[in-house]
Amino acid sequence: MSQWGIEELDLDAYLKRIEVDKPNLRSVAAGHRANIPFENVDPYIGRVPALDLPSLQAKMVQRGRGGYCYEHNTLYAAALERLGIEVTRLAARTRVGGPETVRPRTHMMLLATVDGERFLTDVGFGANLLDPVPLRETTVQHGSWTFRLTREDDIWVLQLLGPEGWSDLYAFAIEHTYPADYLMANHYTATWQGSPFVNRLVAQSRDEDEHLVLSGTELTVKGPEGVRSQRTLTPEQAVETLRDQFGVELTDAELDAVLAKLTSPA
């Protein structure tokens, strides 16, 4: 068995879940993004997400749940490799909010090689790319959104164009990673009391024109021009929004745990 355990993936079930019948890099990225939600319910209610493929399939393929970057991109990478696409798993430092503070490498993303060309591809970032991006200094248009890859010496930086100009999303180097790297980062992200994924309920989705963000009980709709709308939900409305707008299917026990934390004093 490979170090990543890709042999354990039920590829047919995964492709059915993401509604793709003609798989290639672009169609699998789009299908995954559209059908498996970005959400952090497990770390929010005190669980460390499992990263082995049987657990990821049970949660994200069979149960209709989503997850965060380690879960999404571990599953996605296995599918790409099973399809014969070469994958390099990488770790990035998030820069949302500005590059002034050097953060740990806690975001998992991928490079995929097709016909000799490498592409940045990432289905596990809340503000996802809509398509793979060639790994070169380039500006791309994804629907109404404009992304850019640029260089800082040996560091690549993914940026998004907004109403105030370019802002950094994350930065990464081409450095080999191992399963142990993600196990450690996953545990840190899911248990450290300063982690935003421990302290705040988060769900996000992006399509060609809109970026929808649930943060705690705040629901925000953004476009390339900035915030379009924002409203505060009740805890009950927040869990309904998880299901109805983000497609997150929770058990009764999970619903109760989310509600209890949303309603508890800060």
Query: Is 244 known to be catalytic?
Result: no
Question: In angstroms, rounded to a whole number, what is the distance separating the alpha carbons of residues 2 and 185?
Answer: 21
Within 10 angstroms of residue 114's Cβ, the number of other Cβ atoms is 16
Q: Is 122 a catalytic residue?
A: yes
| List 42, 69, 168, 211, catalytic entry | 69
- Report DSSP state, residue 59: I
Which of 32, 42, 72, 107 is catalytic? The answer is 107
Residue 132 is encoded by which pair of tokens?
A: 């793979």
Placement of tokens 């003609």 in the chain: 22
CA–CA distance, 108 with 186 (Å, rounded to integer): 10
**Active-site residue flag, 187:** no
Q: Strand 38-39 and strand 202-206: pairing?
A: antiparallel
Residue of 32, 42, 72, 122 marked catalytic: 122
Residue 212, both tokens: 């929808």
Q: Which two tokens stand for residue 201?
A: 């309920």
Best CA proximity match to 40, nearest among 217, 181, 200, 243: 200
178 closest CA partner among 2, 1, 3, 54: 3
Q: Which residues are catalytic?
A: 69, 107, 122
